[in-house]
Structure 1
Amino acid sequence: MAGRNRSIDIGVCTFRRPELADTLRSLGAMDVPEGFDVRIIVADNDDTPSARDLVAALSAELSLPVIYRHCPARNISIARNACLDASSADLVAFIDDDETATSRWLAELVETSQSSDAAAVLGPVRALYRPDAPDWMREGDFHSTLPVWVRGEIRTGYTCNVLLRTGADSLRGRRFSLARGQTGGEDTEFFDQMHKAGGRIAFAPEAWVDEMVPRSRAAFDWLGRRRFRVGQTHGHLLGSSAGGFGLARQVHLARQVGLAFAKAIYCFAVALPVVVDPVRRNRSVLRGIMHVGVVSGLLGVREIRLYGQPSPQGGKRA
């Protein structure tokens, strides 16, 4: 007798995004990995169950079963944890509610998971720009997402394109921090702690998802706020993992602050000779802003809030 199929749940956290319909349709149209049963879990983070009717209507046309969970509080960690709590699958994937999956998205994640035996597998996010986006932004592609390697390994990750082997020791019972659910950085902390617990992170370079960049994000100030918050999260994680006590710890933190401050000054200085080149200039300035965020995080400054606030277009600000 043939063995049972393994299972995958795809978590989609949503907050007032009509693009959710495109996300769900793309999941219904993708290639289902052979030997797996797949279903979708939609976690609605709005105060009222505003996505319920849309999900119910789409459930009738999709080939995959869809589960709806209303988890109010405008806290993205609550929504992510609701997906994990509702899942009994062998693997859990996450995709954002403003992204669309390519046909081979899930199959590529699964293939890499099986070949690497990693606790988490990341895929790339390809930004799609509107015609009115600034030329420098389109040319420099400031919104696409790829993992960062440090000395040959990936040490943290993101939830906009990931597959988790939830039975792995480093992931068993792990949940997203509610304290970071409105600032952002909850995924960075989640994967940082998973990695420190021994969980490996792999990369599936062909597991593409696409994300249309809305006008509200196609601006330097949005990129600056996002980079600053990323830096704050990194600074807080560096500070929380600093060893030692008393004076030794303070000396270590002071060195980290000094290093991050020096990196920020260097990035801003590098931008000066290329001031007429908006791609190189803005890339350097944004990296400097990120290092300023690291200083802020190391000094314990509260992280800026990115989630749970309505954007001018009605979606979540992230």
Structure 2
Amino acid sequence: MAPPPLLIDICICTFRRDVLADALASVAKLDVPHRARLRVIVADNDVKPSARARVHTMAESFPHELLYIHAPARNISIARNACLEAGRGDFLAFIDDDETVTRPWLRHLLDVALATGADAVLGPVRAVYGPDAPGWMRHADSHSTFPVWVKGEIRTGYTCNVLLKASSPLVEGRRFVLSFGRSGGEDTDFFMRLHEAGGKIAYAPKAWVEEVVPENRARFSWLAKRRFRTGQTHGRLLADRSAAGQRLAHVGLASLKAGYCFAVASALCPFPTLRNPSILRGTMHVGVTAGLLGLREIHQYGRVSPAAEHGNAA
């Protein structure tokens, strides 16, 4: 007898974004892996079920089962956990609501997962810039996302392009921490804890998803804020895993790294293509210092600008 098909749940958390329709449309066109069946879960993190009507309308002609979950409110960890709890597949994939997947995306993730037996497989995110994006930003590719290797292994990850092995005892029952759900970094923490527990994180370099960079994100100020927050998360996690003396040593090292980056940026002042990435890296190390010292974290999720009341979240 032929083995039963694999069930793969594709999870998308959303908060007041019209581009969710584009994400779902790209999933509808996916090349379905051999012997696989797909189910799509949309977790709406808004206080009101603002995405329900859109999802239900698309479900009428959607080629796969499409499940809507209302998972309030304004804390991304709540929505991510709702996806984990609703998932019943052999694998769970996560993408963001402002991304579109390439047709072979899921097939490449699954091939690596089956070949390696990894608990999680990450894929790359390609930033797509508009015509008004600064040249230095395009050259540095400042918004694309790739995994980071440390001594030949991936020690943490992200949820903007990942496939989880649901049957893994290191994945089953694991949840995103709610205290990171407003500041961001909940995925960094999730995958760091997975790795520390012995989980294997692999990489599928051909499993591309794409993210259009909106005008309000194609700015140095937005990138600086995001880099600072990323550093803060790393610093906070480092502080939780270090004794008092070690924390002071980490503060000193991060401060030295920040100073070096800013000094390099000063020397490269006439060349924005080289200067700005160095400033952003220094800003990240300043964030690490802030996280180690316990400074209050910036809230990235759940904020709504006046324009976003009828469109995108801030």
Q: TM-score range by the shorter chain?
A: over 0.9
Aligned to 2:169: 169
**In 1: Cα distance, 2:8 partner to 2:231 partner:** 33
Aligned to 2:249: 255
Query: How far apart are residue 280 of structure 1 and its match?
Result: 1.1
Q: Does 1:226 align with 2:226?
A: yes
Aligned to 2:158: 158
Aligned to 2:148: 148
Aligned to 1:23: 23
Aligned to 1:280: 274
Letter in 2 for 1:125: V
Q: Which moved more, 1:131-140 or 1:92-101?
A: 131-140
Alignment of 1:267-306 (within 5 A): 267-306=261-300
Aligned to 1:100: 100
Query: How far apart are residue 316 of structure 1 and its match?
Result: 2.5
Alignment of 1:192-203 (within 5 A): 192-203=192-203
Letter in 2 for 1:154: I
Deviations 1:125-172 (CA, angstroms, capped at 9, x unpaired): 000011111121122210000001111111000000000002212212
Q: Does 1:84 align with 2:84?
A: yes
Letter in 1 for 2:40: I
Letter in 2 for 1:9: D
CA RMSD across the alignment:
0.9
Alignment of 1:173-212 (within 5 A): 173-212=173-212
**In 2: Cα distance, 1:134 partner to 1:61 partner:** 40
Letter in 1 for 2:261: C
Letter in 1 for 2:17: R
Q: Which moved more, 1:271-280 or 1:226-235?
A: 271-280
**In 1: Cα distance, 2:295 partner to 2:267 partner:** 32
Identical positions, percent:
56
Aligned to 1:122: 122
- Which stretches of structure 1, 4 residues or longer, exceed 2 Å deviation after superposition? 311-314
TM-score (norm 1): 0.96
**In 1: Cα distance, 2:167 partner to 2:273 partner:** 43
**In 1: Cα distance, 2:255 partner to 2:170 partner:** 33
Give SS of 1:174's match: coil
Give the unaligned 5+ runs of structure 1. 243-248
Aligned to 2:3: 3
**In 2: Cα distance, 1:267 partner to 1:153 partner:** 25
Give SS of 1:61's match: coil
Q: Does 1:266 align with 2:260?
A: yes
Q: Confirm or deny: 8 A CA contact 1:264 1:291 kept in the other structure.
A: yes
Aligned to 1:55: 55
Match of 2:312 among 292, 308, 315: 315
TM-score (norm 2): 0.97
**In 2: Cα distance, 1:250 partner to 1:17 partner:** 42
Q: Confirm or deny: 8 A CA contact 1:170 1:195 kept in the other structure.
A: no
**In 2: Cα distance, 1:230 partner to 1:2 partner:** 46
**In 2: Cα distance, 1:274 partner to 1:92 partner:** 44
The number of residues matched between the two structures is 311
Query: How far apart are residue 276 of structure 1 and its match?
Result: 1.3
**In 2: Cα distance, 1:213 partner to 1:260 partner:** 29
Query: How far apart are residue 221 of structure 1 and its match?
Result: 0.8
Letter in 1 for 2:278: S
Deviations 1:263-289 (CA, angstroms, capped at 9, x unpaired): 000000011121111121111000000
Query: How far apart are residue 252 of structure 1 and its match?
Result: 1.3
Deviations 1:45-82 (CA, angstroms, capped at 9, x unpaired): 11111111111111122211100001111110000001
Query: How far apart are residue 250 of structure 1 and its match?
Result: 2.1
Query: How far apart are residue 84 of structure 1 and its match?
Result: 0.5
**In 1: Cα distance, 2:276 partner to 2:240 partner:** 30
Letter in 2 for 1:281: R
Q: Confirm or deny: 8 A CA contact 1:166 1:172 kept in the other structure.
A: yes
Give SS of 2:267's match: coil
Q: Confirm or deny: 8 A CA contact 1:125 1:210 kept in the other structure.
A: yes
